[in-house]
Chain A
């Protein structure tokens, strides 16, 4: 069974750093892109970026370039999303998802989401 399991909810203060994770199982982790999607409270989905675990090839949406870092540890089948200095506006639900095929064009399995709350 394909599963993407994300790390738990986080409560942080502005300026703090954070790294959340997404562990894939039940499929060949290195052959499918992993994407990250943001959903701010009461808002729609926003495409953040993707990474190809086999070679760590990473693409970012312009809105998120230099704001977050996407990485992967293929030895443990886990992708990461990290911030070096959080802002209140980073408060959102973050989803990871795997690509349906070898290309990054659609996501067929999604994690349960990680809620990040940033407040002083």
Chain B
């Protein structure tokens, strides 16, 4: 049971927009920045968003992140078939659950 709560699944059709939520608490998301990782099955995770809303070089601007209070969201616009993957939020946790924590992950299906 992760301290960061994500929906287990999400879906969308090509070209549309989908959002994935990540809910935490005052000891993690409430006081620390959020990162998002994408993991295509059989491969290592890839950093998608860091510091709540920053994209590493090479990540398309279709991917965006936001944070408000103790929750964060990842938005993917212009959905493409290659976006089908697992998505994980992650942050630092200042409580006994820390120091670092991942969400349980969300499996995105492109219909």
A: which residues have CB within 8 A of B?
Answer: 35, 37, 44-47, 50, 59, 61-62, 95, 97, 100, 104-108, 110-113
Min CB gap A34→B, angstroms: 13
Is residue B98 contacting chain A, with contact meaning CB distance below 8 A? yes
Q: How far is the CA of A47 from the CA of B32 in the complex (A)?
A: 16
B: which residues have CB within 8 A of A?
Answer: 2, 32-33, 35, 37, 39, 44-47, 50-51, 56, 86, 88, 90-92, 96-105
**Once the chains bind, are A44 and B33 in contact (CB under 8 Å)?**
no
Min CB gap B63→A, angstroms: 15
**Once the chains bind, are A105 and B45 in contact (CB under 8 Å)?**
no
**Once the chains bind, are B39 and A106 in contact (CB under 8 Å)?**
no
Q: Which residues of A contact B101 (CB under 8 A)?
A: 47, 61
Which residue of chain B has the shortest Cβ distance to A48 in the bound complex? B100
Q: Which residues of B contact A107 (CB under 8 A)?
A: 35, 37, 45, 47
Q: How far is the CA of A59 from the CA of B33 in the complex (A)?
A: 19
Given contacts A44-B88, A105-B92, contact A100 B56 (CB under 8 A): yes
Q: How far is the CA of A104 from the CA of B37 in the complex (A)?
A: 15
Min CB gap A52→B, angstroms: 12
Residue B50 contacts which of A37, A46, A106, A111 (CB distance < 8 angstroms)? A106
Min CB gap A16→B, angstroms: 26
**Once the chains bind, are B35 and A44 in contact (CB under 8 Å)?**
no
Q: Which residues of A contact B33 (CB under 8 A)?
A: 105-106
Given contacts A100-B50, A105-B33, A106-B51, contact A61 B100 (CB under 8 A): yes
A-B contact pairs, 20 of them (CB 8 A): A37-B102, A44-B88, A44-B105, A45-B37, A45-B88, A45-B105, A47-B90, A50-B99, A62-B98, A95-B45, A100-B47, A100-B56, A105-B32, A105-B50, A105-B92, A106-B33, A106-B90, A107-B35, A107-B37, A113-B44
Which residue of chain B has the shortest Cβ distance to A100 in the bound complex? B50
Q: Which residues of A contact B92 (CB under 8 A)?
A: 104-105
Q: Which residues of A contact B44 (CB under 8 A)?
A: 95, 110-113
